[in-house]
Chain A
Amino acid sequence: MHSLIQIKGLRDGLLVSLDDAPWEEQRDALLAQVDGQQSFFHGARLALDVASQVLHVNELVELRDQLSERGIFLWAVVSESPTTEKTAQLLGLATRISKPRPEENRSFSVEDLGEETALFLNRTLRSGTRVEFSGHVVVLGDVNPGAEIVAEGNVIIWGRLRGMVHAGAKGNRNAVICALDLSPTQLRIAEEVSALLKPRAEPTPEIARINADGKLQAEFWSPG
């Protein structure tokens, strides 16, 4: 059933793409997936790409309510069908979203975000240690100079980051690196490389990401 739907991360939420299989089947598949990963989907902004599926008001309302019950906000429906588009507009849903650039599609699917694809390291990584992982990496400890982490997803350091971290190693420019004290030897996200992070007088939690200008930048890490 899961193969019916595809889920991708957008800058401001999730994009779920359905195909042309019967509507009920697709809807059930989506809800099943949502129920299977409640903590991940809860609070998400969801855009739905329904391909050429023809949908009427009652069908969309029903889905919107079902998602809403699960704490998911449906804000857009994208469709090739004029009927569906009209329905969505009637319900006050957006029908145009800025789709992610093709290179962003390569990873960051929901499968990557599942709990089992994060590597949790409850120790300090000392010089000479190299960790490579196809998902996210979470370290409860320090990353010392001379240690390296290469992850296809995000890298979270609950400690001091003084070594080298490469997040989004397969080209995911949405990947982020955060640390309680971000003073790395070098940071890389996708193809961007930065060694120019000024140490702060007082260590502060920071998050590094690729900004709108395409540059790797660190900013204070604040929730929300």
Chain B
Amino acid sequence: MPANVITITSGKGGVGKTTAVANLAVGLAMDGAKVVCIDGDIGLRNLDVILGLENRIVYDIVDVIEGRCRLKQAMIRDKKLPELYLIPAAQTRDKNAVSPSDMNRLIKDLRSDYDFVLIDSPAGIERGFKNAIAAADRVLVITNPEISAVRDADRVIGILEAEDKGPGALIINRLNPTLVKNHNMLSAEDVLDLLAVELIGVVPEDENVIIGSNRGAPVAFDPKSKAGQAFRNIAKRLRGEKVPFLDLDHSGGLWQQLQRLTGRK
């Protein structure tokens, strides 16, 4: 079966694109899928760091495109998951080193051998973003429950529609249920109300995400982390499984848990 090519993008920077790519890749590979992730953020590469593969880079995506190495040579195998590969970005070049047709050609070569190709898009809506979505079968738009991030997500969804890449599916990242409950943060419903697209996952705010990123061990490896669970669930949904959404509202107090046990809301 040919690979499913999925691009993760957001418009705004810092909302968790790279973290999401790393964790979804780990989630998919843990379930036995063959996964390649590509860092599309040429000049500002990060995905290698989050996956903990920085010190293994010899060749990068620009080397492949410019013919200095074969595709396989630029693919770095993950430390723990043998079916997970990374194609890193070049750090010393910029976005103009790659064109959308280069991306199409590169991904065409990957399609037959893998189940999923995940592409990490740079922030913005310029060349790098266009490169990242060029070959995508499906686009995941990630946002935070903040007005500025939602606004940018809206813009990106508009561009995706205009480019015939569909409206995409939405990941809401770093949701803080306590803040939402006190009306100090947009709720998932508020975000969906505005963006009006399919929701594929809500990831709660979780300090383990940062700890995992710094260690080079994505939080999806952590069986106890709620965020890790949320990312693993999204990975399952990408494979077509029906997984119920995490119950983020009732995670907190003992009192709510008791109420739930006794069947009262």
Q: Which A residue sits closest to B160, measured CB to CB?
A: A126
Chain B contacts for A83, CB-based, 8 A? none
* A124, A126, A128: most-surrounded residue (chain B CB, <10 A): A126
Chain B contacts for A125, CB-based, 8 A? 158
Cα separation A124 to B159 with both chains bound (whole Å): 13
Cα separation A127 to B157 with both chains bound (whole Å): 9
Of B78-86, B131-139, B148-156, B215-223, which binds chain A? B148-156
Chain B contacts for A124, CB-based, 8 A? 196
Q: Tell me the smallest distance from the CB of A148 to a CB of chain B, in Å.
A: 12
Contact in complex: A146, B196 (CB < 8 Å): no
Q: Tell me the smallest distance from the CB of B149 to a CB of chain A, in Å.
A: 11
Using a Cβ–Cβ cut-off of 8 Å, how many residues does chain B contribute to the interface with A?
11
Q: Tell me the smallest distance from the CB of A195 to a CB of chain B, in Å.
A: 16
Q: Tell me the smallest distance from the CB of B152 to a CB of chain A, in Å.
A: 7
Cα separation A146 to B157 with both chains bound (whole Å): 13
Q: Tell me the smallest distance from the CB of B107 to a CB of chain A, in Å.
A: 27
Chain A contacts for B161, CB-based, 8 A? 126
Contact in complex: B158, A128 (CB < 8 Å): yes
Chain B contacts for A146, CB-based, 8 A? 151, 154-155
Check B194 for interface membership: any CB of A closer than 8 A.
yes
Question: Interface on chain A toward B: helix, strand, loop, or mixed SS?
Answer: loop
Cα separation A128 to B162 with both chains bound (whole Å): 12
B225-256 CB contact bits vs A (8 Å, 1 = yes)? 00000000000000000000000000000000
Check A172 for interface membership: any CB of B closer than 8 A.
no
Q: Which B residue sits closest to A142, measured CB to CB?
A: B196
Known contacts A145-B151, A146-B151, A127 near B196 by CB under 8 Å: no
Option from A126, A145, A162 in Cβ contact (under 8 Å) with B158: A126
Q: Which B residue sits closest to A145, measured CB to CB?
A: B151
Contact in complex: A129, B158 (CB < 8 Å): yes
A135-175 CB contact bits vs B (8 Å, 1 = yes)? 00000001011100000000000000010000000000000
Option from A128, A144, A162 in Cβ contact (under 8 Å) with B159: A128
Q: Tell me the smallest distance from the CB of B124 to a CB of chain A, in Å.
A: 12
Q: Which B residue sits closest to A125, measured CB to CB?
A: B158
Q: Tell me the smallest distance from the CB of B257 to a CB of chain A, in Å.
A: 33
Q: Which B residue sits closest to A123, measured CB to CB?
A: B161
* A128, A142, A162: most-surrounded residue (chain B CB, <10 A): A128
| CB contact list, A102-130 vs B, under 8 A | 124-129
B135-148 CB contact bits vs A (8 Å, 1 = yes)? 00000000000010
Q: Which A residue sits closest to B153, measured CB to CB?
A: A127
Chain A contacts for B158, CB-based, 8 A? 125-129
Q: Which residues of B contact A (CB under 8 A)?
A: 147, 151-152, 154-155, 157-159, 161, 194, 196
Give me 20 A-to-B residue pairs in the complex whose CB atoms sit less than 8 angstroms apart, sorted by A's number.
A124-B196, A125-B158, A126-B155, A126-B158, A126-B161, A127-B152, A128-B154, A128-B155, A128-B158, A128-B159, A129-B158, A142-B196, A144-B151, A144-B194, A145-B147, A145-B151, A145-B194, A146-B151, A146-B155, A162-B194
The 9 A-B pairs with the shortest beta carbon distances in the complex, nearest first, are A126-B158, A127-B155, A127-B154, A128-B155, A126-B154, A127-B151, A144-B154, A146-B151, A145-B151
Given contacts A127-B152, A127-B154, A145-B147, 17 further A-B contacts (CB under 8 A): A124-B196, A126-B155, A126-B157, A127-B151, A127-B155, A127-B158, A128-B154, A128-B158, A128-B159, A129-B158, A142-B196, A144-B154, A144-B194, A145-B151, A146-B151, A146-B154, A146-B155
